Structure 1
Amino acid sequence: MGTCIICGTPVDGEICGSHEEDVVFEFHGSSPSQLTPSRYYRGTVDGYADFGVFVDIGDHVTGLLHRSELDQRLESLDWEPADDVYVQVLEVRDNGNVDLGWSIRQREREFRGKLIDTGDDEVRPEAFEDGTEDGAGTGTASEPNDAPAETHEAGDLQAAADDAGTTGPNASDTVSGGSGSVATETAAASKPAADDATDAEPDAEPALKRTTIDAIGNQVGSVVRLEGEITGVRQTSGPTVFELRDESGTVECAAFEEAGVRAYPAVEVDDIVALEGEVERHYGDLQIETESLEVLDGEDRETVVDRLENAIEREARPAEIELLADHDAVGAVEDDIADAATTIRRAVMEARPVVVRHGATADGYVAGAAIERAVLPLIREKHTREDAVYHYFERRPLDGRVYDMDAATSDVTSMLEARDRHGEQLPLVVLVDAGSTVESVDGYDLLSLYDAESIVIDDSRADEGIVDAVSAAVAPSLADVDVSDVTSTALGANVAAHVNDDVRSDLEHLPAVSYWEDAPDAYVDLATDAGYDETAVSERREAVALEAYYQSYKDKRELVIDLLFGDGEASRPRDGDLAAHVSEQFRAKLETELETARENATVRGRDGVTVALLDTDAFTHRYNFPTTVLLLDELHRRERDRAEPPVVTLGVGEDELHVRTTGAVNVRDLGESIADRVPDAGVHVVGGADGHVEFLPGERDAVREAAIEALVETLA
Structure 2
Amino acid sequence: MGSCIICGADVEGHICETHQQDVVFEFRGTHPNQLTPGRFYRGTVDGYAEFGVFVDIGDSVTGLLHRSELDQRLESLDWEPGDSVFVEVKSVRDNGNIDLGWSIRQSAREFRGTLIDDPDEDHALLAEEADDEDDEDDGPVRRQAGDAGSGNGSEGRQRATRDEEPDATETDDTAEGSETDAPETGEAETAEPAAEAPEADTADADDAAEADSDDSSVGGGAVVEERAREYDLTPVETLDDHVGEDVRIEAEVVDIRQTSGPTVFEVRDETGGVDCAAFEEAGVRAYPGVETGDIVRLDGEVRRRRGELQVETEALVVLEDDERTTVTDRMADALTERARPDELDLLADDVAADTVTDSIREAATAIRRAVLEDRPVVVRHNATADGYVAGVAIERATLPLVRDQHGGADAEYHYFDRRPLEDGVYDMADATKDVTGMLDNRERHDEKLPLFVFAAAGATRESLDGFDLLSIYGAERVVVDAAEADADVADTVETLVSPSLAEADEPTTASALATNVAVHVNEDVREGIAHLPAVSFWEGTPEGYLDAAADAGYDGDDVREIREAIALKAFYQSYEDKRELIADLLFPETDEERGLASHVSEQFRTKMDEEVETAEANLERRDVGGVRMALLDTDAYTHRYEFPPTTLLVDELLRRHRDDVTLVLGLAEDELYVRSTTALDVRAVAEAAAEREPEAGIAAKSARDGAIEFLSGERAAVLDAVLDALAERV
The interval holding the TM-score normalised by the smaller chain is: 0.5 to 0.7
Cα 1:232–1:426, aligned 2, differ >3 Å: closer, same or farther? farther
Q: Which amino acid aligns with 1:268?
A: E
Cα 1:393–1:169, aligned 2, differ >3 Å: closer, same or farther? farther
Alpha-carbon separation, structure 2, partners of 1:563 and 1:366: 10
Cα 1:237–1:706, aligned 2, differ >3 Å: closer, same or farther? farther
- 1:308 corresponds in structure 2 to 331
- 2:486 corresponds in structure 1 to 463
Q: Which amino acid aligns with 1:713?
A: E
Cα 1:529–1:295, aligned 2, differ >3 Å: closer, same or farther? farther
1:472 alignment partner, one of 475, 492, 495: 495
CA contact (8 A) 2:482 2:508 kept: yes
The answer as to 2:415 corresponding to 1:392 is: yes
Alpha-carbon separation, structure 1, partners of 2:680 and 2:553: 37
1:520 alignment partner, one of 542, 546, 550: 542
Cα 1:465–1:457, aligned 2, differ >3 Å: closer, same or farther? same
Q: Which amino acid aligns with 1:536?
A: D
> Where do 1:14-413 residues align within 5 Å?
164-165=162-163, 212=236, 228-233=251-256, 243-250=266-273, 264-273=287-296, 274=298, 294-295=316-317, 297=319, 305=328, 308-413=331-436
Q: Which structure 1 segments of 5+ residues have no match?
A: 1-161, 171-201
The answer as to 2:592 corresponding to 1:573 is: yes
Alpha-carbon separation, structure 1, partners of 2:214 and 2:633: 86
Alpha-carbon separation, structure 2, partners of 1:580 and 1:220: 59
- 2:460 corresponds in structure 1 to 437
CA contact (8 A) 2:244 2:301 kept: no
CA contact (8 A) 2:624 2:723 kept: no
Deviations 1:392-424 (A, max 9, x none): 111111112211111111111111111111001
Alpha-carbon separation, structure 2, partners of 1:221 and 1:581: 63
Cα 1:293–1:477, aligned 2, differ >3 Å: closer, same or farther? farther
Cα 1:654–1:417, aligned 2, differ >3 Å: closer, same or farther? same
Deviations 1:409-458 (A, max 9, x none): 11111111111110011111111111112222222111111111112111
**Helix, strand or coil for the counterpart of 2:496?**
strand
CA contact (8 A) 1:666 1:690 kept: no
Q: Which amino acid aligns with 1:385?
A: G
- 1:686 corresponds in structure 2 to 701
CA contact (8 A) 1:250 1:351 kept: no
The answer as to 2:437 corresponding to 1:419 is: no
- 2:601 corresponds in structure 1 to 583
CA contact (8 A) 1:650 1:657 kept: yes
**Helix, strand or coil for the counterpart of 1:228?**
strand
Stretch moving more, 325-334 or 252-261: 252-261
Deviation at 1:511, TM superposition (A): 0.9
Cα 1:310–1:582, aligned 2, differ >3 Å: closer, same or farther? same
Alpha-carbon separation, structure 1, partners of 2:363 and 2:441: 24
The answer as to 2:496 corresponding to 1:496 is: no
The answer as to 2:543 corresponding to 1:543 is: no
Cα 1:705–1:257, aligned 2, differ >3 Å: closer, same or farther? farther
- 1:79 corresponds in structure 2 to none
The answer as to 2:669 corresponding to 1:651 is: no
CA contact (8 A) 2:244 2:302 kept: no
- 1:16 corresponds in structure 2 to none
**Helix, strand or coil for the counterpart of 2:550?**
helix
Deviations 1:593-635 (A, max 9, x none): 2222222222334455332211111222221122111121112
Deviation at 1:461, TM superposition (A): 0.8
Q: Which amino acid aligns with 1:579?
A: A
Alpha-carbon separation, structure 2, partners of 1:236 and 1:658: 60
Cα 1:287–1:428, aligned 2, differ >3 Å: closer, same or farther? farther
The answer as to 2:634 corresponding to 1:616 is: yes
Cα 1:223–1:510, aligned 2, differ >3 Å: closer, same or farther? farther
- 2:469 corresponds in structure 1 to 446
Cα 1:597–1:203, aligned 2, differ >3 Å: closer, same or farther? closer
Deviations 1:456-490 (A, max 9, x none): 1111111111111110111111112225x111111
Stretch moving more, 606-615 or 456-465: 606-615
Q: Which amino acid aligns with 1:707?
A: V
2:653 alignment partner, one of 635, 638, 653: 635
Deviations 1:220-259 (A, max 9, x none): 9999997632234578999977554333445677889899
Cα 1:448–1:573, aligned 2, differ >3 Å: closer, same or farther? same
Deviation at 1:278, TM superposition (A): 6.6
CA contact (8 A) 1:437 1:463 kept: yes
Cα 1:305–1:709, aligned 2, differ >3 Å: closer, same or farther? closer
CA contact (8 A) 1:220 1:281 kept: no
Cα 1:246–1:710, aligned 2, differ >3 Å: closer, same or farther? same
The answer as to 2:604 corresponding to 1:555 is: no
Deviations 1:51-78 (A, max 9, x none): xxxxxxxxxxxxxxxxxxxxxxxxxxxx
CA contact (8 A) 2:689 2:722 kept: yes
Deviation at 1:287, TM superposition (A): 9.3
Alpha-carbon separation, structure 1, partners of 2:572 and 2:540: 27
Q: Which amino acid aligns with 2:602?
A: E
**Helix, strand or coil for the counterpart of 1:577?**
helix
Cα 1:204–1:402, aligned 2, differ >3 Å: closer, same or farther? closer
Alpha-carbon separation, structure 2, partners of 1:552 and 1:327: 30
Deviation at 1:376, TM superposition (A): 1.4
Cα 1:437–1:203, aligned 2, differ >3 Å: closer, same or farther? closer
Deviations 1:326-359 (A, max 9, x none): 2221111122112212222222222221111111
Q: Which amino acid aligns with 2:610?
A: T
Q: Which amino acid aligns with 1:423?
A: D
Stretch moving more, 593-602 or 300-309: 300-309
Deviations 1:367-387 (A, max 9, x none): 111111121122222224332
Alpha-carbon separation, structure 2, partners of 1:203 and 1:607: 89
- 2:721 corresponds in structure 1 to 706
User: TM-score, length-normalised on structure 2?
Assistant: 0.63
Deviation at 1:294, TM superposition (A): 3.0
Cα 1:617–1:313, aligned 2, differ >3 Å: closer, same or farther? same
Q: Which amino acid aligns with 1:556?
A: K
Alpha-carbon separation, structure 2, partners of 1:257 and 1:617: 71
Alpha-carbon separation, structure 1, partners of 2:306 and 2:565: 41
Alpha-carbon separation, structure 2, partners of 1:399 and 1:711: 26
Stretch moving more, 251-260 or 268-277: 251-260
**Helix, strand or coil for the counterpart of 1:400?**
helix
**Helix, strand or coil for the counterpart of 1:637?**
helix
Alpha-carbon separation, structure 2, partners of 1:455 and 1:636: 32
Alpha-carbon separation, structure 2, partners of 1:524 and 1:474: 23
Q: Which amino acid aligns with 1:684?
A: A
Alpha-carbon separation, structure 1, partners of 2:572 and 2:647: 15
User: TM-score, length-normalised on structure 1?
Assistant: 0.64
